[in-house]
A and B are shown apart, each in its own frame.
Chain A
Amino acid sequence: MKALGIAYKNLKRKKIRTGLTIGGVAIAVAVLVSLLGFDAGYQRGLDNDIDKLGYHLLVTAKGCPYEAATLMLKGGGGLRYMNDDVYKQIINDPRIDKITPQLVASVYNQEGGEGRGTFALYMGIEKSYLELKPWSRFKSGGWFTNPDADEAIMGYEAAEVEQRSVGDKIFIPRQDKVLTVVGIFERTGTQDDGMIFIPLASAQRIFELPGKLTGIGIKLKNIQTIAQFEEDLYNVPGIQVVSLAQVRGTILNLVSSARVMASSVALIAIFIAIIGVTNTILMSVFERTREIGVMKALGASAIDIFKIIWFETILICFFGGAAGVALAFFGSNVVEQVIRHTLPYAPAGRLVFIRPSILGLSFVATLIMGLIAGTYPALRASLMKPIEAIRSGE
């Protein structure tokens, strides 16, 4: 017979009360784990999206930075154009490792009836685009036959949606243009999957935007030079430079209010759980005043009693923590769906990413919570005077 055994048997005495308290702890822990998982998953997803852009900097026409961020990550949005002389001006900068010009155009396709049309995104690119995205592979077909050809390479999803394969034709409605599909990319898990790529010169011709670009992707030889490089481009009229760090910051800003709210909910849940545990144990201590007095008469020291009561709270938090961790782990798909629907921008990949370290950390945090919650009731019990405790019910 050990303190832990005595504590465990006492918790079994009031099964419903113990169960409800464990449930409260479990819910608080599940919320905590889910939110930590979301935080980790979101940042990881975002970092992945940004890494897969392949560039450190994007030069765009002057405009709203949020718009630029959207443009970078979603490839759409309100499009502004700049002259390609900027490209010619900076292409020979010795600090640049790789550089690629892009022209994005979106075309509304009314097929499917009023209000049911879709946007198709076209991006004019040059071969240098592939150098910035070394992971891009052709699922079938290959590169354009010449830099001004009426040809298209389709992203994996675009090809799936349009049900096209190499050799098929695609039609650009407004421009009355027919393109031949010469290649289809493998899936990359990025926004490129939904894009239709055409040669830059063809894009400028077809969309009647001669000498125009929407962006220039730049990868520097040395990431340390980014600040100076940005500074140098700052004075070039009509353009702005958006760095990936900025985009990351912008997106994280957009979701920060959601994160703050979610963290508050987790904190409140944990606070309520602590109060719940303290209340349960305190109630059980008062109910057992005479038993505690008897134990003291039988030779239990204040520390013995403290230990028994403390073990009770730790057991509650142990089981609550385990249940909460399991709940969060197996319920992460549901949480993922809910969060994805409420966010302005959600990166590809898993949003709620529950690492073993998060599980471990939350579990340990729960046990610490138990220690805190149990301190007061355990102290109350340990300081009871044996005579008064034994005679209290007489």
Chain B
Amino acid sequence: MKECIIKAEKLTKIYALPAEKIQAVKDIDLEIYAGDFIAIMGPSGSGKTTLLDSLGCLGKITSGKLTVLGKDVSQANESRLVSLRRRFISFVFQDFLLIPTLTALENVELPLYFARTKQDRRQAVELLKKVGLGQRINHLPKELSGGEKQRVAIARALATSPKVLFADEPTGNLDTKSSQEIFDLFRKLGKEDNLTLVVTTHNPKLGLQADSIVYLKDGRIIPKEQSSLFQ
């Protein structure tokens, strides 16, 4: 029987963004198991990112229950969420969000520093090799292409050996070829490291490569048949 990594029951999250746009997900029931590769799909404003942020413990949920690795984190404060993120959870973002002043290698080492683990340079180098960037470890982000940057971001996300990796539109800023390469990499990581992957995407072709797809509309999960994406 597979280990249940994340379980959401009636999860609801409402918050106002600085631009006063209210983002919300409502009554989400979802179970994610170890090694799953799940795509969250839906039109813009459907709440994909909000759901991803909530499942990834990036902030408190408004109501409902969220269990991560068997622990109820629905009311956890920021410091408990930080410790969860440090040990079990990683993120990859649409616009990479590498620290521009640090080299690829230093970016990969960063989560290790925050996690207070011994920073093993060889391990960071290995990770960069694994994502196909063994030759560019000392390059600054500005010297890398979009696809390369996202690979560094993925290596960075893997540095602390997380149980689950959340990727928010990881191919949103990439061309078709790079996008497919990133998804191939995800599949490889899932298979080799039993990494759980939760990825949001607009792209149905990429989404279909996941083990299962969660369709969202107006902040709620809908059955596949009701999704406009495949009509």
Contacts and interface: CB of A to CB of B under 8 A. Distances in A.
Contacts of B90: 298
A298 B79 contact: no
A227 interface: no
Interface string A1-12: 111001001101
15 contacts: A2-B113, A6-B99, A294-B99, A296-B82, A297-B91, A298-B85, A298-B90, A298-B114, A388-B17, A388-B18, A390-B58, A390-B97, A391-B17, A391-B49, A392-B18
B111 interface: yes
A9 B103 CA distance: 11
A120 interface: no
A382 to B, nearest CB: 10
Interface in B124-167: 156, 160
B211 interface: no
B79 A301 contact: yes
Interface of B: 15, 17-18, 49, 53, 56, 58-59, 78-79, 82, 85-86, 90-91, 93, 97, 99-102, 106, 109-111, 113-115, 119, 156, 160
Interface in A272-295: 290-291, 294-295
From A297, A298, A301, residue with most partner B Cβ within 10 Å = A298
Give the size category of A's interface with B.
20 to 34
A304 interface: yes
Nearest to A11: B101
B216 to A, nearest CB: 17
Given A297-B58, A386-B58, A12 B114 contact: no
A295 B101 contact: no
Contacts of A296: 82
B166 to A, nearest CB: 9
Contacts of A10: 101
A71 interface: no
Nearest to B13: A387
A221 B58 CA distance: 81
Nearest to A391: B17
Given A388-B18, A391-B17, A12 B58 contact: no
Top 8 A-B residue pairs of the complex, sorted by shortest distance between their CB atoms: A299-B86, A299-B114, A9-B101, A294-B97, A298-B111, A300-B114, A387-B59, A1-B109
A13 B109 CA distance: 20
Nearest to B115: A299
A137 interface: no
Given A386-B58, A388-B17, A391-B17, A299 B160 contact: yes
A296 B57 CA distance: 11
A296 B110 CA distance: 11
A297 B114 contact: no
B114 A304 contact: yes
